[in-house]
Structure 1
């Protein structure tokens, strides 16, 4: 149940490009979220990509620790907060979560903000 498989990651460059050009977005500090309804069948209700700015965080170690914390917070809460709502409405989406915070936040802070983000995303997608 609490897994994050390769099939859930968004790797297709064409889909990522269309996500940023045609998708809807909102801010939930320290995250910037972009999402787009997916066309065609998917194995999972959400395909996701995580990003951290190379301009703001020069060292790869810093970018990696931030991405690890975001992925872990997402992995723990995606089923209860997002998947149940999307499965009941039979909707698939592609999703991008970018970190725009000024400093490396603790996991507790990121987890709390991730819960708020997933709640807000569920509300927007199901409108």
Structure 2
């Protein structure tokens, strides 16, 4: 599997971001809130992901960017966990709401748990076509 995180896999369109927060579902695994949404009409099978860090909790931009880099790297290394997903058009938002910086291995384990939980949730909501 491709281990890169190109711009085509990152969520940056304002319309899609609004759609994610208005119509999406969410769950929480401290310190990350997960927003997800499955688009009905989607041309590409790769999930799109958004990374965000709360400005209210982490005051310094340097620290926010540091956490975002760690989250991106953890996602990039573990995105193959989404491959058993039977849904196309996944839009995903990972929002860090903790108030302290975490070690990379802790963030990576949380992202891994989140991706596994997301696959379970989305695959259990799909009706069988038989």
Q: Tell me if TM exceeds 0.5.
A: yes
Give the Å deviation of 1:40.
2.2
Q: How many residues align?
A: 123
Give the Å deviation of 1:78.
0.4
User: Residue 107 of structure 1 aligns with which residue?
Assistant: 104
1:125 partnered with 2:126 = no
Select the structure that is richer in helix. Answer: 1
What is the alpha-carbon distance in structure 2 between the residues aligned to residue 42 and residue 65 of structure 1? 32
User: Residue 51 of structure 1 aligns with which residue?
Assistant: 52
What is the alpha-carbon distance in structure 1 between the residues aligned to residue 116 and residue 44 of structure 2? 22
1:17 partnered with 2:18 = yes
Q: Which digits, 9 at most, give the CA deviation of each residue in 1:48-79, with x for residues without a partner? A: 11000111112110000000000000000001
Larger radius of gyration: 2
Superposition CA RMSD, Å: 1.2
Q: Runs of 4 or more off by more than 3 Å in structure 1? A: none
Contact 2:45 2:88 in 1 (8 A): no
User: Residue 84 of structure 2 aligns with which residue?
Assistant: 85
What is the alpha-carbon distance in structure 2 between the residues aligned to residue 110 and residue 75 of structure 1? 12
What is the alpha-carbon distance in structure 1 between the residues aligned to residue 4 and residue 99 of structure 2? 29
* TM-score normalised per structure 1: 0.91
- Unmatched tracts of structure 1, length 5 or more: none
Q: Secondary structure at the match of 2:76?
A: helix
Which of 81, 93, 97 matches 1:96? 93
* TM-score normalised per structure 2: 0.89
User: Residue 63 of structure 2 aligns with which residue?
Assistant: 62
